[in-house]
Amino acid sequence: MALPLSHLPNEILRELRDRKWAAFLMFVLVSFAVLGAGFFFPYKYKSEVVIFVDDRNIIGPLMEGRAVTTKINDRASAAKELLMTRNVIEKIARDPSVFPNASMASASVEQRIARIRGGMFVQPRGDSYFSVGFSGPSQVESFHVAQRLGQLFIAESNQRKRTESQSAYDFIDKQVKNYEVQLTEVENSLRQFLSENTDGTEAEANARLAQLRNQLELAKLEKEELVARVGSLQTQLSGVSQTVMRGKTEDGYRERIRALEERLDSLRLQYHDTYPDIVILREQIAELRKQREQNSGQREDSNALLEREGAVNPVFQELSAALSEARANVATANTRISSLERLIQQQNTRMERIQENKAQYLELTRDMEVNREIYDDLLKRREKARVSMHLDIEGQGLNYRINESAQFPNQPTGPQFSNFAAAGLFLGLLAPLGTIAGYLQIDPRIRAKKQLEEDIGLPVLVEIPFVRTPFEKRRDRKVTVLISIFAVLAILAYLTAVVAAQFGVI
């Protein structure tokens, strides 16, 4: 049963009186144990370098949009990542200025590398500052390692920026050359395609096809008109006699031959010699010449040698000529229609070829446009990368600068020896009291009447107090004095050890 809290102080004091030696021994053990921990506690000495991130120099506004300055989003993380690389840490581990007279054996170097990695830290300090430092058991080692970390970070970050800028420029330049080759190939393919496919564009083909169709329609209309004219001439010709009877003289023969020759010359201007009307006229002229030669040998009276014969009717001749001409025009119209239909068929075939080539042409032009767009963009990016590379080479853009150099650590970080000394006395005094208080809470004995009343549920009528005899009081007083002397001696020894440690005696 737990002891009521109201009775706890009195019971603690009574237990202390009963167990003075145990409390004294616990005080001495706990206090000197904490003091000894202070002697052997591995104190850490921390030294750090504060680095300023200069990303607001005048170059930024001047080169905005024309150059890309190297940026790091999380600068502290990037700095830690850079410094954690083996290349950087191994340089420090093998640096004789940081570790003088240190062994350069592989095992020793690996131990130093592990110790540097374990003690190194990177902490952000606002937007433009962060610190790089080292915490270790040696003041000199912490100072030199922190100083060297800051120097290597500046050098490695500048070198990395230059390397990244150079790599970016080389990569973009390589891509520019590749796309230049691709663009040249696509342009050559398009040029060869256009040279091999001379059918023209779809618009030209459609315009030509529409023109041919219009001409075909006009030719068909003209043919219908000519066919109607042929029918009309045939109707007229059927009602006219082919010959007429008239007197013929030598002059008559000559006049008729001359008229027919004029008609023949007129037809030869329009048609070939194989044209039917031309053939008929030539036969008529030959016949008239034959008749004139036969009649020229006969002797007749010079005033009037009259002869009655059947002569060609001029009206019939004109109608025949007009009919022949109309039929020739119909044949010409048929030929023209056939030619137009053939041209339309060829144009349809040409349109099919154009449609087939259109997809290939679009693909070639699309590839050329895409490649040209990417090529132009890469050219701009290459120039930006060139300027950025020169900025990093010249040390412009994003720069790191040491704002505070590493300071030699005079005091260790974390708990100091004085803290251990004060905590030893406090814990030495608190340990007996805490131990007794805990013991009273788990002790099954009844120490107050309230415990008994709560246990049995009945009131306690009489409580017999604890009474000590005069002898017991004298003995207890002697023990108290003796323990007080030992306690004072222990505290003096404790303080002596603390003062000695502070002055470096021990």
Residue 29 has pLDDT above 90, yes or no: yes
- 345 alpha carbon, distance to own chain's centre: 52
pLDDT of residue 4: 66
pLDDT of residue 397: 52
C-alpha separations of 77 from 22, 376, 485 in Å: 55, 36, 59
Q: How far apart are CA 377 and CA 370, in angstroms?
A: 11
CA nearest to 92, candidates 141, 140, 43: 141
pLDDT of residue 2: 62
Residue 69 has pLDDT above 50, yes or no: no
Residue 115 has pLDDT above 80, yes or no: yes
Other C-beta atoms closer than 10 Å to the C-beta of 261 total 13
Encode 396-419: b = buried (16+ Cβ within 10 Å), e = exposed: bbbbbebbeebeebeebeeeebee
To the nearest whole percent, how much of the chain has pLDDT over 70? Answer: 82
pLDDT of residue 393: 63
pLDDT of residue 303: 42
What does the chain come to in residues? Answer: 506
Residue 45 has pLDDT above 60, yes or no: yes
Write out pLDDT tens, residues 82-112. 888 888 888 888 888 888 888 888 898 899 9
In this prediction, residues 52-74 reach a mean pLDDT of 49
pLDDT of residue 59: 39
Of 129-138, 299-308, 373-382, the range with the lowest mean pLDDT is 299-308
Write out pLDDT tens, residues 353-412. 877 777 777 887 887 888 888 888 888 888 887 877 776 665 555 567 788 888 888 877
Q: How far apart are CA 79 and CA 262, in angstroms?
A: 113
Of 298-312, 435-449, 481-495, the range with the lowest mean pLDDT is 298-312
pLDDT of residue 67: 43
Three-state DSSP at 190 gives: helix
In this prediction, residues 259-271 reach a mean pLDDT of 80
Q: How far apart are CA 419 and CA 191, in angstroms?
A: 88
C-alpha separations of 487 from 21, 39, 182, 421, 493 in Å: 10, 22, 95, 16, 10
Of 63-67, 138-142, 172-176, 221-225, the range with the lowest mean pLDDT is 63-67
Q: How far apart are CA 133 and CA 404, in angstroms?
A: 11
* Mean residue pLDDT across the chain: 79
Q: How far apart are CA 361 and CA 191, in angstroms?
A: 10
Looking up tokens 């119909």, which residue turns up? Answer: 330
pLDDT of residue 313: 66
pLDDT of residue 394: 58
Write out pLDDT tens, residues 164-174. 788 888 888 88
Helix spans in 297-416 (H) = 314-393
Q: How far apart are CA 367 and CA 376, in angstroms?
A: 14
pLDDT of residue 33: 92
Looking up tokens 């009521």, which residue turns up? Answer: 4
Q: Is 175 exposed, middle or buried (0-12, 13-18, 19+ CB in 10 A)?
A: middle
CA nearest to 364, candidates 200, 201, 183: 183
In this prediction, residues 50-61 reach a mean pLDDT of 61
Strand-pair partners of 48: 133
Q: How far apart are CA 125 and CA 128, in angstroms?
A: 7
Three-state DSSP at 291 gives: helix
Q: How far apart are CA 248 and CA 262, in angstroms?
A: 20
Q: Are strands 129-136 and 243-247 parallel, antiparallel or unpaired?
A: unpaired
pLDDT of residue 302: 43
Spatial CB neighbours of 192, under 8 Å, sequence gap ≥ 6 = none
Q: How far apart are CA 157 and CA 122, in angstroms?
A: 15
pLDDT of residue 65: 47
Strand-pair partners of 241: none
In this prediction, residues 470-478 reach a mean pLDDT of 83
In this prediction, residues 248-255 reach a mean pLDDT of 64
Write out pLDDT tens, residues 180-207. 888 888 888 878 877 777 667 778 878 8
pLDDT band at 18 (very low <50, low <70, confident <90, very high): confident
Q: 505: which DSSP letter?
A: -
Q: What is the CA radius of gyration of the chain?
A: 64
Amino acid at 79: A
C-alpha separations of 103 from 100, 261, 283 in Å: 9, 133, 134
Of 115-124, 192-201, 426-435, the range with the lowest mean pLDDT is 192-201
In this prediction, residues 256-263 reach a mean pLDDT of 81
pLDDT of residue 30: 92
Write out pLDDT tens, residues 325-354. 888 888 888 888 898 889 888 888 888 887
